[in-house]
Structure formats: structure tokens, C-alpha cells
């Protein structure tokens, strides 16, 4: 009988642990300690037990009853406090707080979109260094020491010969002098100029350059690739026009204008009534640049282009002040 009582205690311990609400605790109490519960059931056999054994069984049965009562009491408190101890005003049925999740800066997104379209044309993305020597930023791109084309590229010097690049075009020199054509490369990145900051100028901004070098490349290839890119980026109705221009590293050179995306070329505030906006520079790579990179200009030909990420983004989203990109004002950034 003592064995049966002890086994019952063991079993009760396991059952009590599993009770999750006051109702099940009460059910367990009735099952073990109730008037017709399991303990009473065992004690019914007391009549057949010898007189000497009875006090001992009585003692054990009291101990088992008390222990089960204690455990039930503890469990009852535990399951009751689970729901009862909530802080005031706390509603556990409300949905959880959503943590703010960051997203890409609009300039990063636009730079990525620009490159992804060129990547779909088979271009590889290459990043050059922000710190350049005079050679990569200027001389290697055919800007002679005292040439006026350098005027628009005043920059920040770390030492006499180390400067912050003024454009991403130097990446072209790095690639062309270290690898063999054919090349199809886009080079995105940050550039620097000694500019006074205003609504359209900043001393740090971003560009995407690109170049393609192979055999028998001509201006038609340049127009085809850039016209296609414009249609993918701005929309299939947008037209391009190429205006003669000058860059030391391309010959001939051109500016690419696109028909205004806001008025479809009719003339509006954004295109200053002209119907066109300038979007990038381009041209056929100058033979002098090939020679500096030890590539034979008789064998290889190619084209290059370069655009400002801010300018493209400002045009695409009708943003009239470049400074908005750098102020970290969430009211502005959340719109993208
Ligand atoms: N690097 C020029 C600038 O920052 C832009 C440019 C024009 C890049 C023509 C090119 C190009 O690759 O072919 O003003």
C-alpha cells in the first residue's frame, strides 16, 4: 500500500506540471484528493492491513496528501499569475511594434538602376579608387598640365600628386592599362570638386562612366547603346539627340540630350521651354588615350560616356535642389 501511495505521488507530480489553467488544476485535485479520489480508493484496503502497519500507512498517506496539496497550490498560483500580473494598460492582444527597417538611399538606388541596365547589355561593373594621382585623373586622359579643360576639375589635394578624383573616367585608364580588350565596362562612384555648394552644385557627388572597346567600333554603336539605355531608364517614348562637344579624352565628343520626360518635348519649366535636357557626355575614345595605355589605336576603337547620378535622379524625380540628397532628412528620403 505504501508503494502504491508513493507511485501515486510520483504520477501526480507529472500531471500537475502539465496543468495550464486553474480549471485543470482543480480537476487534478478532485482526481487525487477528492472524496472518491484515488487516495481514498487506496485507503479502502486499510481494513485488511495488520494493526501494527496501519499507523505507518496513515502517516505516509497524510504525507502524500499534503505534498499533492502543496504542489497543486503552487501550480494554481503559477497559472493564475500568468494572466493576472499584466502591467496596467497592457493589452496582450495588440499586434507587436514593427521595428523600423532601413532602405537604400535614392542615389544608391538610381546608381544601381543605371548600372543594371548596362549590365543587361553585357557591361561589367568596375569600381576605381576615390584617391588618384594626377596621371589617372588628368594626364592619362589627355588633359595636358596647363590645359584649360582642367579648370572645371578643380579638386582637393592630399599631397602635390595625390588628389580626390573629379570624375569616374580614370577607371577607364586603370582597366585599359592592365587588361586586354575587348572591354565593356561601367564604372560608378563618388567624385569630388572644389565647388561652392548651391542648388545644382556639390563638392561631393556621383557619376557613372562607361566604355566599350573592340574592333571596328564606330559612332553608330555609341548612339545605339545610349539610345537604348535612355529608353530603358526613362521610357520608350523618350528621344535622344547628340550635340557636338569637347572632352580631352574623346574625339569626336558629344553631349547627349533627351526629350523632356515631363512635357514630352513641348517645353516646360524643367526643360526651360527647350523640350530637351542634357543628360551625359560621350564620344569616341581618343587615340592618344589608347597610346598612353599601350593599346594600338589602329587595332582597337571604342566609345565612352559619363553621367552624373544626382543629375539623372533630379531629373527623373523632379528634385530641384541637390542638397536634399545629403541632409538625411527622413521626410525627403522616405519618398523613395
Ligand atoms: N568625365 C566627364 C566629366 O566629368 C564626363 C564624361 C564625358 C565622361 C564624356 C566620359 C565621356 O566618359 O566620354 O565632365
CA distance 272 to 274: 5
d(CA 23, CA 95): 28
In 3D space, the residue among 235, 306, 308, 319 whose CA is nearest the CA of residue 270 turns out to be 319
Dist CA 331 CA 336 (whole Å) = 10
The per-residue pLDDT for range 160-211, each reduced to its tens digit, is: 899 999 999 999 999 999 999 999 999 999 999 999 999 999 999 999 999 9
CATH number for the domain that contains residue 216: 3.30.930.10
Cβ-proximal residues to 328 (8 Å cutoff; 6+ apart), any chain? none
Q: What is the pLDDT of residue 46?
A: 80
Same domain flag for 36 and 143: no
Same domain, 71 and 146: no
Distance between Cα 79 and ligand 1 center (Å): 73
Query: Do 186 and 325 fall into the same domain?
Result: yes
In a domain, 324, yes or no: yes
Average pLDDT, the chain: 93
Task: Please indicate, yes or no, whether residues 76 and 161 belong to a single structural domain of this protein.
Answer: no
The answer as to whether 93 is a domain residue is no
Binning pLDDT at 50, 70 and 90, where does residue 159 land?
A: very high
Q: Is the domain of 165 the same as that of 70? A: no
Calpha distance 305→264 (Å, rounded):
24
Residues 145 and 28 in one domain: no
Q: Which residue has the higher pLDDT, 87 or 317?
A: 317
The pLDDT, as a whole number, for residue 68 is: 87
Report yes or no: 39 and 61 within 8 Å, Cβ to Cβ. Answer: yes
* Shared-domain flag, residues 111 and 57: no
48, pLDDT greater than 90: no
Residue 84's pLDDT is what? 57
Confidence tier at 17 by pLDDT (50, 70, 90): confident
Which whole number is the average pLDDT over 144-164?
A: 94
Q: Are residues 187 and 263 in the same domain?
A: yes
Query: Which segments of the chain does DSSP mark as H helices, in order?
Result: 2-18, 22-33, 38-43, 53-84, 106-120, 134-137, 170-178, 219-234, 287-292, 309-317, 330-333
Rounded Cα distance, 207 and 153, in Å: 14
In the reported structure, the alpha carbon of residue 209 is separated from the centroid of ligand 1 by a whole-number distance in angstroms of 7
Indicate the burial class of 296 (C-beta count within 10 angstroms; 0-12, 13-18, 19 or more): exposed
Evaluate whether residue 285 is within a structural domain: yes
The reported pLDDT for the residue numbered 295 is: 98
pLDDT tens digits for 280-313? 999 999 999 999 999 999 999 999 999 999 999 9
Q: Give me the number of domains the chain comprises.
A: 2
Same domain, 77 and 179: no
Q: In this structure, is residue 297 part of a structural domain?
A: yes
What was the pLDDT predicted at 82? Answer: 67
Q: Is the CB of 209 under 6 A from ligand 1?
A: yes
With bands split at pLDDT 50, 70 and 90, how would you rate the model's confidence at 328?
very high
Residue 291 DSSP SS3? helix
Rounded to the nearest angstrom, the distance between the alpha carbon of 290 and the centre of ligand 1 is 16
Q: At what angle do helices 53-84 and 2-18 cross, to 10 degrees?
A: 0
Whether the CB-CB separation of 271 and 318 falls below 8 Å is answered with no
pTM, 2 dp: 0.74
Residue 256 in contact with ligand 1 by CB distance below 6 A: no
pLDDT at position 307, please? 98
Residue nearest to ligand 1 atom 8, measured at CA: 306
Q: How confident is the model at residue 331 (pLDDT cuts 50, 70, 90)?
A: very high
CA distances from 278 to 259, 282, 292, 310 (A): 9, 12, 30, 13
Q: Say if residue 311 is in the same domain as residue 200.
A: yes
Residues 75 and 131 in one domain: no
* Shared domain check, 125 and 76: no
Ligand 1 contact via 250 beta carbon (within 6 Å): yes
| 325 Cβ inside 6 Å of ligand 1 | no
Percent of the chain at pLDDT > 70 equals: 99
State the number of CA atoms in the 13 A half-sphere of 132 facing the CB.
28
188 lines ligand 1 (CB under 6 A): no
- For residue 187, what pLDDT is reported? 98
Q: What is the pLDDT of residues 220-243, one digit of tens each?
A: 999 999 999 999 999 999 999 999
> Ligand 1 within 6 A of 128 CB?
no
pLDDT for res 92:
84
Bridge partners for 190 per DSSP: 206
Sheet with 204-214, side-by-side order of all strands: 124-125, 183-192, 204-214, 301-308, 276-285, 250-259, 240-247
What range does the domain containing 17 cover?
2-81
Residue 215 or 39, more confident: 215
Measured between alpha carbons, how far is 143 from 147 in angstroms, rounded to an integer? 6
Place 85 in a pLDDT band, splitting at 50, 70 and 90: low
* Domain-located, residue 101: no
Q: Which atom of ligand 1 is nearest to the CA of 166?
A: 4
Q: What share of the chain is helix, strand, coil (3-state, %, to 5)?
A: 45, 20, 35
pLDDT at 204: 97
Give the model's pLDDT for residue 64: 86
Does residue 153 fall inside a structural domain?
A: yes
Amino acid at each position: 500500500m505504501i508503494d502504491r501511495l508513493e507511485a501515486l505521488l510520483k504520477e501526480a507530480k507529472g500531471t500537475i506540471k502539465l496543468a495550464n489553467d486553474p480549471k485543470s488544476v482543480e480537476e487534478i485535485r478532485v482526481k487525487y484528493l477528492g472524496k472518491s479520489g484515488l487516495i481514498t480508493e487506496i485507503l479502502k484496503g486499510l481494513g485488511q492491513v495488520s494493526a501494527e502497519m496501519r499507523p505507518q500507512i496513515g502517516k505516509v498517506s497524510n504525507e502524500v496528501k499534503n505534498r499533492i496539496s502543496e504542489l497543486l497550490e503552487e501550480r494554481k498560483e503559477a497559472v493564475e499569475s500568468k494572466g493576472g500580473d499584466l502591467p496596467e494598460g497592457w493589452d496582450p492582444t495588440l499586434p507587436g511594434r514593427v521595428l523600423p527597417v532601413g532602405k537604400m538611399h535614392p542615389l544608391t538606388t538610381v546608381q544601381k538602376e543605371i548600372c543594371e541596365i548596362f549590365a543587361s547589355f553585357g557591361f561589367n561593373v568596375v569600381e576605381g579608387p576615390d584617391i588618384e594621382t594626377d596621371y589617372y585623373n588628368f594626364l592619362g586622359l589627355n588633359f595636358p598640365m596647363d590645359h584649360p579643360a582642367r579648370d572645371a576639375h578643380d579638386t582637393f589635394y592630399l599631397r602635390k600628386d595625390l588628389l580626390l578624383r573629379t570624375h569616374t573616367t580614370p577607371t577607364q585608364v586603370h582597366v585599359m592599362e592592365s587588361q586586354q580588350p575587348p572591354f565593356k565596362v561601367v564604372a560608378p562612384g563618388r567624385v569630388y570638386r572644389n565647388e561652392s555648394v548651391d542648388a545644382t552644385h556639390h563638392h561631393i557627388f556621383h557619376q557613372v562612366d562607361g566604355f566599350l572597346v573592340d574592333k571596328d567600333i564606330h559612332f553608330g554603336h555609341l548612339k545605339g547603346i545610349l539610345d537604348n539605355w535612355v529608353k530603358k531608364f526613362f521610357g520608350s517614348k523618350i528621344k535622344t539627340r547628340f550635340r557636338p562637344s569637347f572632352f580631352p579624352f574623346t574625339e569626336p565628343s558629344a553631349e547627349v540630350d533627351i526629350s523632356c520626360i515631363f512635357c514630352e518635348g513641348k517645353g516646360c519649366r524643367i526643360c526651360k521651354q527647350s523640350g530637351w535636357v542634357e543628360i551625359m557626355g560621350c564620344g569616341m575614345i581618343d587615340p592618344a588615350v589608347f597610346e598612353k595605355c599601350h593599346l594600338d589605336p589602329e587595332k582597337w576603337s571604342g566609345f565612352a560616356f559619363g553621367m552624373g547620378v544626382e543629375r539623372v535622379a533630379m531629373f527623373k524625380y523632379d528634385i530641384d535642389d541637390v542638397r536634399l540628397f545629403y541632409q538625411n532628412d527622413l521626410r525627403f528620403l522616405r519618398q523613395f
